[in-house]
Structure 1
Amino acid sequence: MFENLREDFNTHQRDPWRQGVWVMAVYRFGRWRYKIRPAFLRRPLSLLYKFLKIGVQIAAGIDLPCETQVGRRLRIEHFGGIVISGDTVIGDDVTLRHGVTLGLRRTGVAGAPVIGDRVDIGAGAKILGPVRIGAGAVIGANAVVLCDVPAGALAVGVPARIKKHRHPTLQEAA
């Protein structure tokens, strides 16, 4: 947990006032508490997590539940309006900007996005349903993504369309 926290802090330019640092610290704590055995020791930590999560939601406007699978170095660029479903999977080195939603297409229908490594998601973008976003893809501002986006592609529009596709170099794919 502490290695991940240090990495998250460095990802946010070592600035303790960036809301992304707060959100990631509460997220990492929430994931870590599941490892505590026995259950009677975990319960007070779970209660503390719930209060911290609500506090960070109010202060930062970002909802990142600990059930979400987040890779390393998630960068949350801007304050507010970010909602992420607990079923979402996020890869390494992903960048999120304000107003992003990663979630289910409809309530009660299973299937959340899987975001690859090094994906850049623009402000106001919505990625909904069981879609896969390939490594190195760029999702344009205010795009509504309802289908898979290949690696290295640019997706823009409502609904999103693939505008250009570049093949990642060997170094990027590694």
Structure 2
Amino acid sequence: MAKNPLDRVMDAVATVREDLAAAHRRDPAATDDLAILLTSPGLHAIWTHRVAHRLWARGARLPALVLAQGARSVTGVEIHPGARIGRRFFIDHGMGVVVGETAEVGDDVMLYHGVTLGGRSMDRVKRHPTVESGVTIGAGARVLGPVVLGEGAQVGANAVVVKDVPAGATAVGIPATVRAGGAHPDVQMDPAIWI
């Protein structure tokens, strides 16, 4: 059964509130809802993506791509309208982030600026990463190909990930290797210390 217009508006308002709360949790500089609402390019990019993704899913591919291109021009964040992104997704700073067409992103994921979730194939197959819930990806990191970043994994700044990263692990370096996680899942490793 289709939702009535008022229910859709209320759902959108609830989603915006959820995104603002996520920004407060993840960004110590985010202190005022109005300022975040008006000035966060990462949030503007994801809000626009949600509209573009709906258009894409309904077969309105060209309008979806045009909308995504407009968001890229304004925010510096490029999210393909075909990418599937979960709730409370947060991009801190945003500039230079790229999320490819077949990328799948879970809930409560955080990306810093310059992150690429890119492909390694020209074939029309699943060619972009799957990022499970609770993952944090550091500035400038590249996650390439149909790899899986397990739930709660972390990727260090400027790492290049071309293999799966287990849940709760930290991957750093070029090419990225797993440095922490697994045996001590309660210990949160700061990926920046491995840079």
Which band: TM-score by shorter chain? 0.7 to 0.9
Label 1:128 to 1:109 Cα distance change in 2 as closer, same or farther (>3 A): farther
What's the counterpart of residue 22 of structure 2? 11
Say whether the 8 Å CA contact 2:110–2:136 is kept in structure 1.
yes
> Larger % of helix: which?
2
Gaps of 5+ in 1: 170-174
* Alpha-carbon separation, structure 2, partners of 1:149 and 1:50: 31
* Alpha-carbon separation, structure 1, partners of 2:57 and 2:149: 30
Say whether the 8 Å CA contact 1:4–1:28 is kept in structure 2.
no
Query: If the length of structure 1 is used for normalisation, what is the TM-score?
Result: 0.82
Label 1:35 to 1:101 Cα distance change in 2 as closer, same or farther (>3 A): closer
What's the counterpart of residue 189 of structure 2? none
What's the counterpart of residue 24 of structure 1? 46
What's the counterpart of residue 172 of structure 1? none
* Offset, 1:46: 6.2
* Offset, 1:6: 3.4
Tell me whether 1:98 sits opposite 2:113 in the alignment: yes
Aligned pair partner of 1:84 in 89, 99, 121 = 99
What's the counterpart of residue 63 of structure 1? 78
Label 1:50 to 1:129 Cα distance change in 2 as closer, same or farther (>3 A): closer
* Offset, 1:35: 7.2
SS at match of 1:53: helix
Pairwise CA RMSD of aligned residues?
Answer: 2.3
Say whether the 8 Å CA contact 1:136–1:168 is kept in structure 2.
no
Q: How many residues align?
A: 162
What's the counterpart of residue 7 of structure 2? none
Query: If the length of structure 2 is used for normalisation, what is the TM-score?
Result: 0.74
SS at match of 1:12: helix
* Offset, 1:56: 1.7
Q: What are the superposed Cα offsets for residues 98-147 of structure 1, whole Å, 9 maximum, x if unpaired?
A: 11000211333632211011000000100111111101111000100010
* Alpha-carbon separation, structure 1, partners of 2:57 and 2:170: 39
* Alpha-carbon separation, structure 2, partners of 1:87 and 1:61: 20
Aligned pair partner of 2:169 in 153, 163, 169 = 153
* Alpha-carbon separation, structure 2, partners of 1:88 and 1:140: 19
* Offset, 1:55: 2.3
* Alpha-carbon separation, structure 1, partners of 2:180 and 2:94: 29
Which residue identity lines up with residue 67 of structure 2 in the other structure?
Answer: L
* Alpha-carbon separation, structure 2, partners of 1:88 and 1:145: 14
Say whether the 8 Å CA contact 1:5–1:28 is kept in structure 2.
no
What's the counterpart of residue 117 of structure 1? 133
